[in-house]
Structure 1
Amino acid sequence: MNGPKDEPEIEDYDGPAGGYGSLESVGRYLISEQVPDAIVTLGHQNKPDGFMCVSCAWAKPAEPQPFEYCENGAKATVWEVTRKRTDQAFFETHTMAELADCRDHDLEEAGRLTMPMRWDPETDKYRPVTWRAAFDEIGAELAALQDDPDQTIFYASGRASLEASYMFQLLARLYGTNNLPDSSNMCHESTSVALPESIGVSVGTVTLQDFETTELMIYLGHNVATNAPRMLHQFQDAKKRGASIISINPLRERGLERFTDPQSPKQMLTLGETVISDTILQVAVGGDIAALTGICKALVDMDDACERVGKAGPTDREALLAETEDDGGFSIKAGAAAATSRRVLDHDFIAEHTQGFAAFADYCRAADWAEIEQVSRLSRAELEAVATQYAAVDKVMGIYGMGLTQHVHGTETVQMLVNLLLLRGNIGKSGAGICPVRGHSNVQGQRTVGITEKPELAPLDRLKELYDFEPPRHEGYTTVTGCEAMIDGKVKAFIALGGNFTRAVPDIPRVEAAWQKLRLTVAIATKLNRSHVVHGEVSYLLPCLGRIEIDQQATGPQAVSIESSLAQFHGSKGRVTPASPDLLSEPAIIANIAVAALPENPKVPWREWTEDYSKIRKAIEKTWPATFEGLDAGMFTPGGITRPVAARERKWNTRSGKANFLVPTGMFAGTTENYGGEGVLQLTTVRSNDQFNTTIYGYHDRFRGVKGTRMVVFMNAADIAAQGFADEQLVDLTTAIDDGHHRVVRGLQIVPYDIPRGSCAAYFPETTPLVPLQHHDLHAHTPAYKAIPVRISASTMVKERAE
């Protein structure tokens, strides 16, 4: 069923982010998905009384734009409300062996699932099954494994609502396991580990209102135009009133450079643009700790210089102010050092609110500029200029994405950014703070309602009290340890609440081989994907309502709630007719599995919850009263309900009772194995303009000038020449880690690109087979999809393609 592939084209794109390019791209999808009338539906997207976007997790503003959605958000909506159907006729036509050869895009492009299906081993096809039979059979399979509940994994994708996620975690714990990995394990788990140690909360401290007063944003490791374009409105407004943006990223992404607002008639008519970043520093892949160390070192040195000036007598002070360091450093006058009455660092804040400053300052003083420059590929002058700009303003945000978190030392990288903010008291005040940009639309909220493998993060005692059972107290599987357990034969069943697990994980060939040996795979899903085509011995597809569809239950149409990246709870109401009358909601499917698989528990009103979601929200409020007070009553408040975050008020729920400066263990964020070795490049995985996570909308990465293919590798021109390759040559990438497994991705076309020497980039998930399971964050177990050491060789597919 693979559709025709366009002939690959590589050409420069000179346009801005947004603008007519975005309008054309959205229009193309409205037509291709046969829903030109979806433009009416889009008018309700991210509005206070509408539905939350099913892609990114950016917040709904209290005063939205007329069209409060971005290009990728519109594509996600169109993709879900498509009129195409993956129905019984489709499955009668295709075996799973045939579909296993299909591209990710083509599987989802087939359309919405319409009825429950069970895989038939005799025909290798999915066959219709009644909902009752499906639930009874799944329940029996789960009951047969309950002598060892940890044989089952309950996985949640980041788009499931707070209501569904609460029920799902309760189902898993009543079953007897904390095996609750989710999308966060693969993206921002490093944040969830780093921030509690540093500032005592697991989420960011920034609100939408802080963008209205901030003076400087330091933006790291994130491609705003592809992954969260609605943020560009906050960036644009901040720039108009004089705020500055410094971007630190390996690639010069178009959204970091300039933006034309499609909602601005003036900009569209005049082809006007807003310059987004005042400075773009192209850090080497894996070099963020080094870059942040350089900035912090410059600030500490400036502060030390101020102290010397302040203590000096009049004669010595003049000499010090005129002095320039012999090693080529900047003048003491830089960064307000000339004023004896003002220090660069906020010593009052540091003394009252932090711990560990002395050790961190010593680390900065001892850091070697030569090593900083070598690892970061940034010059001392560039990093000192950032420090000078940072020191000159009072309100600074640190904003970051998975370019910081998905490293072997991702937790330490996030903590280095916290260190930078703490130096000048930029956490816990208006217009400042730390802002992790989460990916999927409710991935943060799922953690808030108990989707976690860590028992210490779940209110187990409260769950015990409310539902009269003994919750499991041992740690469950993360994504990484769950995959390892599958390979070892310790896992027998996998229940997936959304997602495309086998395409999102590392070591795909090894995981897929283990996946097919599972006894049971159950997918609660809206569309077909690779994780359904490659399946266990017993496999079910349970098609669910999408968030955009009307969810009619016994008490009437239902609404759900989600948590944004900015820790605000928002309501969401479906607006369109369901794709099929045979679809059930996620809460209804979870409740039916629970009733079929678990002993009866009169304290858990599964049926009542399914009939009236407000009762689920009230159960959530009872479980976390301080966090969710007023959720049911206030979730449609314009701007949402702002979740209490202690660090916003400079209350530090850490072991020390203060915010902690934490010293990193090294400069490089990746693995030191083969680092700097001959012919080894550090690969970072990236997403395209036509993609959200594993969902591929098409094969046109407009901003990077790639059309008709995703099988490319972006390389520095000097690296191409040094390794003896040529532009557009086909090459193979091999993982430069020797663990007894050969990992290779073949047939990637070289694209010369503006990326630092020693670094290269390629698309996720096409190159995730290169990532070993053990290549993960040392503290959070987040797969390290950045700084993957690879070697490049002439492709063995050259002859095949030529033919």
Structure 2
Amino acid sequence: MADPVTIKPYKGPAGGWGSAKSLTEILLREQIPLSGGGLLLHQNKPDGFMCVSCAWAKPAKPSVFEYCENGAKATAWEVTRRSIAADFFAKHTVTELEGWRDYDLEELGRLTEPMRWDAATDTYRPVPWAEAFREIGTELRALAPKSTVFYASGRASLEASYMYGLLARLYGNNNLPDSSNMCHESTSVALPESIGSPVGTVLLEDFEHTDCILFFGQNPGSNAPRMLHPLQDASKRGVPIITFNPFRERGLESFTNPQSPLEMLTRSETRISSQYLQVKAGGDLGAIYGLCKALLEADDAAQASGGPRLIDTAFIAEHTHGFEAFADSVRARTWDELERHSGLPRAALEQAARTYGRSKATLGIYGMGLTQHRMGVETVQMLVNLLLLRGNVGRPGAGICPVRGHSNVQGQRTVGITEKPELVPNATLKALYGFDPPAEKGLNTVEACEGILDGSVRAFVALGGNFIRAVPETDLMEPAWRKLRLTVQISTKLNRNHLIHGEVAYILPCLGRVEIDAQPGGRQSVAMEDSTACIHGSKGYAEPASRHLLSEPRIVAEIAKATLAPNERIDWDRWGRDYASVRDAIEATYPAEFKNFNARMWQPGGFRRPIPAADRVWKTPNGKANFIVPRGLSADPDTEQADPDVMRLITMRSNDQFNTTIYGYDDRFRGVKGTRMVLFMNKADIARLGFRDAQSVNLVGAAQDGIVRRVEGFRVLAYDVPAGCVGGYYPECNPLIPLWHHAERSKVPAAKSVPVRIEAAHP
């Protein structure tokens, strides 16, 4: 039954009573009102469990309630009392379940026993663990190693990720795509060239020392709500927060701390952004160019008048390379073209540059609004250029801060989940385990999709996630996916990737991070890395959803034993029951990053692995931080259409979801209830194109490649979004994204500026 749809503008703050109400609702819905509340007291605590949703930093001195609305939802979603077992699958064919909504599938509850698809009945049936592992191993051994993909979703622990990466390389490939390929791979390509580090340089305490924050393309209200606390503290200190984002997001405008009794009782709000610039989709590159141009012009004027310089000439001379070429490129750009590409007036950019020019320590914070564009790599490097102009890398209160998504997506890269062999210490792996790791580059997410489409990929093993729902080109990917020989899903809940399956398909249900992991070696703990490169221990407190569940490390170990030839240097059984021994192996493989790993993993606030750029040590080929000149002004040149009817689609998440997991059909901050099929449009565009508010419309891909891409049934909603841009929810809009429409060099799907046309829906 469809939910009633209501649209009502939301003028309240992020957080506040709306957050408290939403948390209460999901605890009641998942039937854990009392146990869930007590469990949450352990969330993000030094001796507790790390949040299973976002990767935002965890403080050394946490508050009593060190969780946010969405983090609490993720925990409630995982420890729900609902569960599904063999009797459910016996009653419902897979074909029938394909017609269910994503929300309804996951709302069924936890998977409780291993299942194998039965072709004769089109149902999943129980299979003993030993039989499942034996059959999976037989299938994998029969395939060419290059034809198998080992995907990781981003929430698996460091221990499971290390084992999984080693499994793939012992099997014979580097086909280790992960969710980083879908979001921050642009960061991983851009930052090493600019500053010699693939991750950010900022720590949580830098928020206490900053005097200016530049914020690009990230919505903390929905995607990392705990980040609102340091932003609120900075705002209260008078720190200017300059935001560049196409949508006016409530979490970037106003916040009421739901953990403050005074704020809740008085309904007081804190202004977050001091200046809000609604850059058009793909306009960030031009906007940052504008900031640099305004800063250099002001510096030229100061130099001519004998005033103090606005750029840090000493830092530039000692630590950087390429400044003159970059400055020349900035001066060559005209204000007319910068305004056109950014969608912002010169005066607004000059105002922002003046604020930046007065600061002594600036943070540059960004999310997928920068990375998910065709020129995402160049856009990230452009932000680094802006920070380098004033020496804002490698000092307290300053630095580059990419906000990562899933809880351990950054950490799993640290311990070897990557398709790039040059990022793996292969010589160390050879010395430790006595094999020659594969030297050939593996498949990233886009390349894995290409392999599935052309038939060269025959098997897909997934350590979590809902890959088929997360990737672009849905309408082509789903039929191709059914031609795979083998699909294996290590999961906690039912999702679409279990229903779109290969000829041979298994569901392997695992323990969640919040659950007690009791192994023969005792109660186990795991570790993960947050967005600031700090490593944290995590142990579960909830009773497992089923006695049949196995942990992720144990499942990986059993697949490895069933698939690989015995290796006297690897005791998979020990690793599967004693995770401290896995951490010893991680330390042996990465000694600089994980020195004294087991002894340090419970350090409050986590222990930080070395980030040389944070100390102004530049691990680049020339030993300098590099100014890098972008090739153009548009982050998405192929959406620069002459046809005014072609719109730029921005895909985004609602307040009631995390990645592909849908918690509900409401988006409180945008005033939407009961639906996700909404098209956010500029009011003038609605009139110009001949539509009306609340009209039913369809979206059609505007790419000229001979492929029809179409999603029907959107409701037009007049919204404050730049002209020429529209917004729709992910993953519903994924069928409109061409697989080739990705960031150059990083291959991140360019989901923040997709060319589309809008047509009226006919009754």
Q: TM-score range by the shorter chain?
A: over 0.9
Equivalent residue runs for 1:44-63 within 5 Å = 44-63=42-61
| Deviation of 1:605 (Å) | 1.2
For residue 245 of structure 2, what is the aligned residue in structure 1? Answer: 249
Equivalent residue runs for 1:483-494 within 5 Å = 483-494=449-460
- Alpha-carbon distance in 1 for matches of 2:458, 2:297: 57
| Deviation of 1:676 (Å) | 3.9
- Alpha-carbon distance in 1 for matches of 2:467, 2:39: 29
Contact 2:639 2:754 (8 Å CA) reproduced: no
- Alpha-carbon distance in 1 for matches of 2:745, 2:453: 22
The reply on whether 1:183 has 2:179 as its aligned counterpart is yes
Q: List per-residue Cα deviations over 1:340-363 (Å, max 9, x = no partner).
A: 2x1010010001000010011001
For residue 105 of structure 1, what is the amino acid of its counterpart? Y
For residue 389 of structure 2, what is the aligned residue in structure 1? Answer: 423
For residue 32 of structure 2, what is the aligned residue in structure 1? Answer: 35
Match of 1:700 among 656, 660, 666: 666
The reply on whether 1:503 has 2:469 as its aligned counterpart is yes
| Deviation of 1:596 (Å) | 0.3
| Deviation of 1:655 (Å) | 1.3
For residue 387 of structure 1, what is the aligned residue in structure 2? Answer: 353
- Alpha-carbon distance in 1 for matches of 2:163, 2:643: 49
The reply on whether 1:260 has 2:226 as its aligned counterpart is no
For residue 757 of structure 1, what is the aligned residue in structure 2? Answer: 723
For residue 679 of structure 1, what is the aligned residue in structure 2? Answer: 645
For residue 95 of structure 1, what is the aligned residue in structure 2? Answer: 93
5+ unaligned residues in a row in structure 1: which ranges? 311-339
For residue 321 of structure 1, what is the aligned residue in structure 2? Answer: none
| Deviation of 1:670 (Å) | 1.0
- Alpha-carbon distance in 2 for matches of 1:685, 1:482: 22
The reply on whether 1:11 has 2:5 as its aligned counterpart is no
Q: TM-score, normalised by structure 2?
A: 0.99
For residue 458 of structure 2, what is the amino acid of its counterpart? K
Contact 1:163 1:587 (8 Å CA) reproduced: yes
Contact 1:674 1:737 (8 Å CA) reproduced: no
| Deviation of 1:77 (Å) | 0.3
For residue 513 of structure 2, what is the aligned residue in structure 1? Answer: 547
| Deviation of 1:243 (Å) | 1.4
| Deviation of 1:673 (Å) | 5.2
| Deviation of 1:276 (Å) | 0.6
Contact 2:679 2:715 (8 Å CA) reproduced: yes
Equivalent pairs counted in the alignment come to 762
- Alpha-carbon distance in 1 for matches of 2:437, 2:70: 40
| Deviation of 1:677 (Å) | 2.0
For residue 61 of structure 1, what is the amino acid of its counterpart? P
Match of 2:133 among 127, 135, 146: 135
- Alpha-carbon distance in 1 for matches of 2:584, 2:235: 41
- Alpha-carbon distance in 1 for matches of 2:625, 2:615: 12
Contact 2:639 2:648 (8 Å CA) reproduced: no
The reply on whether 1:472 has 2:469 as its aligned counterpart is no
Q: List per-residue Cα deviations over 1:24-80 (Å, max 9, x = no partner).
A: 001000111111120000010001100000000011101101100000000000000
Contact 2:26 2:76 (8 Å CA) reproduced: yes
For residue 324 of structure 1, what is the aligned residue in structure 2? Answer: none
| Deviation of 1:672 (Å) | 2.5
3-state secondary structure, aligned to 1:167 = helix
The reply on whether 1:455 has 2:421 as its aligned counterpart is yes
Match of 1:595 among 556, 561, 564: 561
For residue 295 of structure 1, what is the aligned residue in structure 2? Answer: 291
3-state secondary structure, aligned to 1:119 = strand
Contact 1:346 1:424 (8 Å CA) reproduced: yes
For residue 80 of structure 2, what is the aligned residue in structure 1? Answer: 82
- Alpha-carbon distance in 2 for matches of 1:755, 1:58: 27
3-state secondary structure, aligned to 1:219 = strand
| Deviation of 1:242 (Å) | 2.2
Match of 1:276 among 272, 276, 283: 272
Which moves more between the two structures, 603-612 or 382-391? 603-612
- Alpha-carbon distance in 2 for matches of 1:779, 1:685: 21
- Alpha-carbon distance in 2 for matches of 1:278, 1:537: 55
The reply on whether 1:626 has 2:623 as its aligned counterpart is no
For residue 521 of structure 1, what is the aligned residue in structure 2? Answer: 487
For residue 787 of structure 1, what is the aligned residue in structure 2? Answer: 753
Equivalent residue runs for 1:703-742 within 5 Å = 703-742=669-708
Contact 1:631 1:641 (8 Å CA) reproduced: no
- Alpha-carbon distance in 1 for matches of 2:752, 2:226: 25
- Alpha-carbon distance in 2 for matches of 1:384, 1:241: 23
Using a 3 Å threshold, how does the CA distance of structure 1 residues 599 and 631 change in structure 2: closer, same or farther? same
Q: TM-score, normalised by structure 1?
A: 0.94
Equivalent residue runs for 1:207-246 within 5 Å = 207-246=203-242
| Deviation of 1:678 (Å) | 2.6
- Alpha-carbon distance in 2 for matches of 1:759, 1:432: 32
3-state secondary structure, aligned to 1:625 = coil
- Alpha-carbon distance in 2 for matches of 1:501, 1:54: 18
Contact 1:674 1:736 (8 Å CA) reproduced: no
- Alpha-carbon distance in 2 for matches of 1:673, 1:581: 52
Q: List per-residue Cα deviations over 1:563-597 (Å, max 9, x = no partner).
A: 00011000000001000000000000000000000
For residue 580 of structure 2, what is the aligned residue in structure 1? Answer: 614
Q: List per-residue Cα deviations over 1:209-257 (Å, max 9, x = no partner).
A: 1011100110110111000000011111112222121111000000000
Match of 1:156 among 135, 152, 157: 152
Using a 3 Å threshold, how does the CA distance of structure 1 residues 63 and 676 change in structure 2: closer, same or farther? farther
Equivalent residue runs for 1:357-436 within 5 Å = 357-436=323-402
- Alpha-carbon distance in 2 for matches of 1:356, 1:736: 38
For residue 222 of structure 1, what is the amino acid of its counterpart? Q
- Alpha-carbon distance in 2 for matches of 1:101, 1:276: 42
For residue 668 of structure 2, what is the amino acid of its counterpart? R
For residue 740 of structure 2, what is the amino acid of its counterpart? Q
Match of 1:70 among 40, 64, 68: 68
| Deviation of 1:5 (Å) | 1.6
For residue 433 of structure 2, what is the amino acid of its counterpart? Y
- Identical amino acids, percent of aligned pairs: 61
- Alpha-carbon distance in 1 for matches of 2:637, 2:63: 44
Q: List per-residue Cα deviations over 1:325-379 (Å, max 9, x = no partner).
A: xxxxxxxxxxxxxxx2x10100100010000100110011011111111111100
For residue 536 of structure 1, what is the amino acid of its counterpart? G
3-state secondary structure, aligned to 1:399 = strand
For residue 379 of structure 2, what is the amino acid of its counterpart? T
